[in-house]
Structure 1
Amino acid sequence: MVVFSINGNWINNTVGPSNIIRNAYDRTSKYLEHNVDLKIITLDSYYNDTHVRGSEAPSIAVGSKFSDFKRKVKSFVSYKSKSSLLFSLITVLKKMIFPAFKLAYKMKRDKTLLKTHNIAVVHDCFTAYFLMKLHSKENSKSKFIFIYHNDGNLWSMLLESYPKLSIFKRYLDLIENSIIARCDAIILLSNSAKSRLEFIKGDAVNNKLKVIYNGIPDFTDKESTTNYDNDSVNIVCVGTLCHRKGQDRCLNLLSLLPFKMRGKIKLHFVGDGSFREDLKTQSLNLSLNEQVFFHGAKDDVYPYVAEADAYILLSRNEGLPLSIIEAMSLGLPILATKVGGVGELVIDGFNGFIYDDENRSDCLQRFLSLSEDDLNKMKLNSRAYFEANFTVDKMIDNECRLFKEVFSYDGRS
């Protein structure tokens, strides 16, 4: 059985779907154990000569004049994208729609490509839509699977980032409905997302939905060194510095702690984004500037997570965040908001604590109050829960089981 895994982005992009595809690419031998020949198709498949991969990109020192200028430009564009319809359209066209169309068009011109697969698994909505429109006649016997990398509301993250585009919601829904109608199956990343999509779409998604958790490789054998203060409680947050990821909530949470308890903590942000300067200002206004550290974007975040005492992510919107799964694989207690599929990653009091808007400092106080025995037990729980549910091999096993169901696989294909 030949399966195409398709994403209208670069394989080294930092977004969730690209991370999942990279993990699958590194484990194609595992798919072959299930008689599944997985082919990865991204923009790199056609434009790899013109794309600067992450490891080859010129490094820019955090704090350099060019870096600061670039960040100010990004901040301006981000602000205009939220406040200006024109900027929103230009940004989404450039980042999402044009790349998706380019990939679908290149695949269209590759005459033999679309006649050689049994199943196409598509990771982003615009690529899925263009593929259906451009390739409706090619290999009509092939099956089509779409993955919702979100909380079950396909456009929620897009419209949170670009609220002015809400005037196009009707047309976005038409795109989603056409994808659903063509799909033979839909993969969701959590039971929460499945319930939400069922509520939104009703009978249109009957018998098409399948929950498969994201899985990641095991990184516990890597070496790591950081400059963390070993006398402090080091809590780390990895991700783009933006409103959706909720780093501002982390700062507010820290400021609410009693002074003596607050003094124990060092909060580390790993990542960059348009909110960086706003967060620095907030940190200064809350008198937290000696406890909060901005490490910038890193090619390898492993050392910062591995050496931490806990992981925090207070997002306002999520699918099934890989950063939490990575922290669990390293046996870290998790402090998180119960959004999207996070409630299926973090069990309050078992492998972490859930942030509650009504009692905001409670999760952090409960963590800091743990005895050494209870803390060690929570770390073991976090690791064990990862091993039981979120390894890349478990994800592949579940995917291949679905592929066979969708294609009515009988061992002869």
Structure 2
Amino acid sequence: MKKIIFIVNYLTLDEEGGNSRFLYLAKKMLKKYDDLEIEIITSNFLHSKKTFRYDKEKNITIEDKNLKITFLSTIGYEQNISLKRILSNKVFARSVFRYLKKMKDKDELPNLIYFSVPSLEYGAEIIDFSKQNNIFTIADIQDIWPEAFEMVSPFPEMVNKVLFFNSRRLSKKIYSQVDYTVAVSNTYGKIVDKYRKMNSHTKVVYLGSDFRKFDKYFNKKNETNDVIRFTYVGTLGHSYDLNHVLDAFSIVKNLKKKIELHIFGDGPLKESLEKKTKELEIEDIVTFYGRLPYLELVNKLGEMDVAINPIRDGAAQSIINKVGDYAAAGLPVINTQENLEYRNLVDSWHIGINTFNNTDGLKNAIIEIIGKSKSELKLMGENNRLLGESLFDRRITYDDLAKMIRKVVDMS
């Protein structure tokens, strides 16, 4: 038997409302190959809900095979950007090292370690341990740190260089020394490849969803002609500029066409956004749902007509989770994201409108959407679904990733 371990700090299980890339990939590998043993190592702190898990391990049966999930100790934190989160990452890294050392002592080392980035501390520990013990490694780049934090830091550039010096050192170490790299977008892949050997290129596989599973829970319910329902799905945080969205809706709310805005998600700015909604006197057309379990969210997307992707200027995001869900739901998109990778997809697939991340840009895009016929909006949505089936359906896009992992395992 060959053994793979996935090490993933931020893992949300299906029953916790998640749609994890790593859990899906582990299950796919077990179904596809009979000679694999797979374990997922994660934190006992659930990042998405800021709560602790109290089990030390969990076992899932996949076609008579066992998938073991191990929860390692760390400390919790309340804020995503905080010293306590940095400390939590360091504690988890030490827990990972101790666990790997125990595996070595028991002569149970894996053939491959597949790990997520971020966070960075345990990634660096994995690199050192794997080099010492001749274990192949694959890093799956989910976000670019410390760039993502620098974008929202209130400090001057010179201060940021000092604050994030260690993070930059760790990220370069991981990118340059890991055996193979995978990324969730071409944008991230190009950044990583700057630190790789000339003949080593990052494999890009968008996060995506299993569209067959998505379709089981998705039910298009909003067929009325008298209202257009706009939606945002995601974190209510500093990288996503919902303030301009609310300002735009306050301007266009009295147009002849009835409109609504439905916001799904939680985050540090939730209270201030709810307060702003009251100040703008648009509570009658704006609804906050909080963070829903993934399959419940999928069901609610069936009531929506148009999605909004309002990324703050300068943010580090590229191809993010929500755009795959918008594609699966067949929704036209209003996009303010500067990132050319997604803007080009919006234009080339004719799935919506690219605009500027300010109140006027969003206002004009909303008015343009309202002015389109039902058939025009339907065509944009159908185009987005086709885009999704081509680039975001995990049943298809993860096949090559599974083959890549198998190839590396066979080299061990």
The share of aligned pairs that are identical, in percent, is: 19
- 1:126 is matched with which residue: 111, 118, 121? 121
Secondary structure of 1:110's partner? Answer: helix
SS across alignment from 1:274:
coil
- Residues 283, 390 of structure 1: alpha-carbon distance in 2 compared, 3 angstrom cutoff: same
Q: Which amino acid aligns with 1:269?
A: I
CA distance in 2, matches of 1:328, 1:90: 36
Residues 231 and 258 of structure 1, relative CA distance in 2, 3 Å threshold: closer
Displacement of 1:121: 1.5
- SS of 2:125's partner is helix
What pairs up with 1:27-42 in 2 under 5 angstroms?
27-32=28-33, 38-42=38-42
* Closer, same or farther: CA 128–370 of 1 in aligned 2, 3 Å: same
In structure 1, what is the equivalent of residue 190 of structure 2? 195
Amino acid in the other structure paired with 1:277: E
Which stretch of the first structure deviates more once superposed, 99-108 or 272-281? Answer: 99-108
Structure with the bigger percentage of strand:
2
> What amino acid is aligned across from residue 386 of structure 1 in structure 2?
G
How far off is 1:50 after superposition? 3.7
Distance in 1, matches of 2:198 and 2:167, equals: 17
TM-superposed deviation, 1:93: 1.4
Deviations 1:283-333 (A, max 9, x none): 233332221111122223122212111111212232421122112112111
Q: Which runs of 5+ in 2 are unaligned?
A: 46-51, 59-76
State which of 143, 149, 153 in structure 2 corresponds to 1:158: 149
Q: Per the alignment, do residues 103 and 28 of structure 1 end up closer, same or farther by CA in structure 2, a change over 3 Å counting?
A: same
- Offset at residue 279 of structure 1 (A): 0.8
1:342 equivalent to 2:328? Answer: no
Give secondary structure in 2 for the equivalent of 1:293.
strand
| Contact preservation (8 Å) 1:31, 1:38 | no
TM-score, normalised with respect to structure 2: 0.77
Alpha-carbon shift at residue 183 of structure 1 (Å): 1.1
In 2: Cα distance, 1:373 partner to 1:228 partner: 12
Query: 2 CA distance for matches of 1:205 and 1:40?
Result: 31
2:329 match: 330
- 1:388 equivalent in alignment to 2:390: yes
The 5 A counterparts of 1:55-134 are 88-94=82-88, 96-111=89-104, 116-124=109-117, 125-134=120-129
Structure 1: 5+ residue runs without aligned partners?
54-72, 82-87
Shift of 1:123: 0.4
Whole-angstrom CA distance in 1 between matches of 2:330 and 2:150: 34
Q: CA deviation at 1:15?
A: 12
Instruction: Tell me if the contact between 1:118 and 1:407 (Cα under 8 Å) persists in the aligned partners.
Output: yes
Query: Deviating runs (4+, > 6 A) in structure 1?
Result: 13-18, 225-230
Higher helix share: 1
Give the one of 228, 233, 244 matched to 1:238: 233
Q: CA deviation at 1:256?
A: 4.2
Please say if residues 251 and 363 of structure 2, whose CA atoms lie closer than 8 Å, have aligned partners that are also in contact: yes
Alpha-carbon shift at residue 20 of structure 1 (Å): 1.3
Q: What is residue 311 of structure 1 aligned with on the other side?
A: 307
Q: Residue 102 and residue 396 in structure 1: after superposition, are their counterparts in 2 closer, same or farther (change >3 A)?
A: same
Contact 2:308 2:333 in 1 (8 A): yes
C-alpha distance 252-188 of structure 1, shift in aligned 2 (>3 A): same
Displacement of 1:17 = 9.9
Per-residue CA distance 1:110-164 (angstroms, 9 max, x = gap): 22688543322110222211222345422x1x321112212xx431223345556
Give the conservation status (yes or no) of the 8 Å contact 1:8–1:103.
no
Corresponding residue of 1:275 = 269
DSSP 3-state at the match of 1:121 = strand
Q: Is the 8 A contact 1:190 1:344 kept in 2?
A: no
Pair 346,31 (structure 1): closer, same or farther in 2 beyond 3 Å = farther
Q: Which residue pairs with 1:70 in the alignment?
A: none
Per-residue deviation, 1:381: 1.0
AA at the equivalent of 2:115: V
Whether 2:329 is the aligned partner of 1:320: answer no
Residue pair 1:240, 1:273 contacting (<8 A) in 2 also? yes
Query: How much has 1:97 moved relative to structure 2?
Result: 2.8
Alignment correspondent of 2:278: 284
Alignment-mate amino acid for residue 237 of structure 1: Y
Kept in 2, the 8 Å contact 1:5–1:121? The answer is yes
- Cα distance between partner residues in 1 of 2:146 and 2:107: 28
- Equivalent position amino acid for 2:324 in 1: I
| Distance in 1 between residues matched to 2:43 and 2:4, nearest whole Å | 17
Residue 313 of structure 1 aligns with an amino acid whose one-letter code is: N
- The residue type equivalent to 1:294 in the other structure is F
Deviation at 1:236, TM superposition (A): 1.4
- For normalisation by structure 1, the TM-score amounts to 0.77
